[in-house]
Amino acid sequence: MEIVYHYATVLKAITDLKEKGYTEDFNLAENSITFNSGSFGEDEFEITDVYFYEGESDPDERATVYGIESKFGHKGVLVTGNDAFPESVSRKIVDKLLVHRNDK
């Protein structure tokens, strides 16, 4: 699946993705992405959309909004700030999320 890149505010990104059926609120855990009814590992999801936001007054005010679909059919949104991830999160998940650094 090819990733689609967008540049928008975080609110616009979330709204666009919700309109496309990305209704789950995903979060990062140590070795998985979690949501209210479960979790999945790094080999069980694909990134479909990546939205970038950079603050007008401060380039460090960056956020990335991911549209993610699990192989089980769950579609949702994951928001990260400034591509910063907790050290406890699996390196494989972080590398997969940072694909946009090499794939644009």
- Structure confidence at residue 20 (pLDDT): 95
- Structure confidence at residue 69 (pLDDT): 96
Three-state SS string over 46-88 comes to EEEEEEEEECCCCCCCEEEEEEEEECCCCEEEEEEECCCCCCC
- Structure confidence at residue 51 (pLDDT): 87
- Structure confidence at residue 63 (pLDDT): 84
- Structure confidence at residue 89 (pLDDT): 87
- Structure confidence at residue 59 (pLDDT): 61
Global pTM reads 0.84
Classify residue 104: in a domain, yes or no.
no
Q: Using an 8 Å Cβ cutoff, are 21 and 75 in contact? A: yes
In the chain (104 residues long), the average pLDDT of successive 10-residue segments reads 77 92 94 93 92 71 88 94 78 83 54
* Residues in CB range of 87: below 8 A, 6 or more apart: none
Task: State which residues form the domain around 22.
Answer: 4-98
Classify residue 103: in a domain, yes or no.
no
Classify residue 9: in a domain, yes or no.
yes
Residue 32 CA, chain-centre distance (Å), reads 13
